[in-house]
Amino acid sequence: MEKELSREFLDKVQKVAQGPDADLLFDMVELLYERRAEYDNEPLSDEDRAAIREGREAVARGEFVTLEELKKDLGL
């Protein structure tokens, strides 16, 4: 599934890259790039996309823990 990168989309990426979630964006891009290189012949399934969508919705509802909170809970 290839999509053309619109100016609007690139503007959104740039805004995120300049904001407080920049580290997350960069980590996600690196992860996806590495995944693509390793599994280029296995694109995301509908189930994968649904899980990602559900995760985004959970984050939007505030249902997440920070890395610091997780480390504290695990005693690290």
- How far apart (Å, rounded) are the C-alpha atoms in residues 14 and 10? 6
The pLDDT tens digits for 13-32 are: 999 999 998 999 999 988 88
Burial (0-12, 13-18, 19+ Cβ within 10 Å), 25 = middle
**pLDDT value for 38:** 65
The pLDDT tens digits for 30-70 are: 888 887 766 666 777 899 999 999 999 999 999 988 889 99
